[in-house]
Amino acid sequence: MKLAITGKGGVGKTTLSAILSHLFALDGRRVIAIDADPDANLAQALGIKASDIKEIRSIAEMPDLIEERTGAKPGSMGGFFRLNPRVDDLPEGIGYKIDGIALLVIGKSKATASGCFCPENILLRRLLRHLFVEREDVVIADMEAGIEHLTRGTAEAVDAFIVVVEPGQRSIQTAETVKEMAGRIGVKKFLLLPTK
């Protein structure tokens, strides 16, 4: 099961992501929770202690790891680097473990699907593809607000989008746009979760 939780900012995406992660873990499933929101709050929602949250780093902020895996320094343009870096060990190696859940904070990818091939963006896209396509785990992705993740091509392999919506034109408009774009990249299941 690969789920991407999305919607307008402030509607409860992170809370839903944490609840689903814990429910699947309680059911005995291996869960990987991805915090793909630049305003990373999933660790807190999962119940990780504040002192431990300070130690959790975004993969996008790990220049040594990025260089080791891609062969190029983060932020560098041009040159040569691996387009298919090894990522299969990252959930167990750097993911924060809590109650059967491995949390990965991936930070913000700056590129669009057709744009920058910077080393850090290549690593993040390869990791997401690995998690969504090649793993048997349940993957719950707390996506950033809006539709940016769809335009970057990082979510094309999810089983379903769950769009959290609140009463209001902007929230409904975001949901409609996500549904249209999700359909274009082949996501078959699109679920709306209204909030009060």
DSSP track, 47-84: T--HHHHTT---GGG-HHHHHHHHSS-TT--SS---SS
How would residue 112 be classed by pLDDT, with cut points 50, 70 and 90?
very low
CATH class, 2-194 region: alpha beta
d(CA 150, CA 6): 10
How would residue 124 be classed by pLDDT, with cut points 50, 70 and 90?
confident
Q: Collapse the DSSP code of 161 into the 3-class scheme (helix H, G, I; strand E, B; otherwise coil) and give the result.
A: strand
Query: What are the sequence ranges of the domains in the chain?
Result: 2-194
pLDDT for 153: 61
Full-model pTM: 0.85
Cα–chain center distance at 178: 16
Q: In the chain, which ranges are E strands? A: 2-7, 31-35, 96-98, 101-105, 138-142, 160-165, 189-194
Mean pLDDT of the chain, nearest integer: 85
Over residues 67-108, the pLDDT tens digits come to 999 988 876 666 777 788 999 999 999 999 999 999 999 875
% of the chain with per-residue pLDDT over 70? 87
d(CA 146, CA 144): 6
pLDDT for 138: 96
d(CA 153, CA 135): 19
Looking at the chain, how many residues does it have? 196
Over residues 125-177, the pLDDT tens digits come to 888 888 988 888 999 999 887 666 666 666 667 888 899 988 888 888 888 88
Q: Tell me which of 96 and 182 has the higher pLDDT.
A: 96
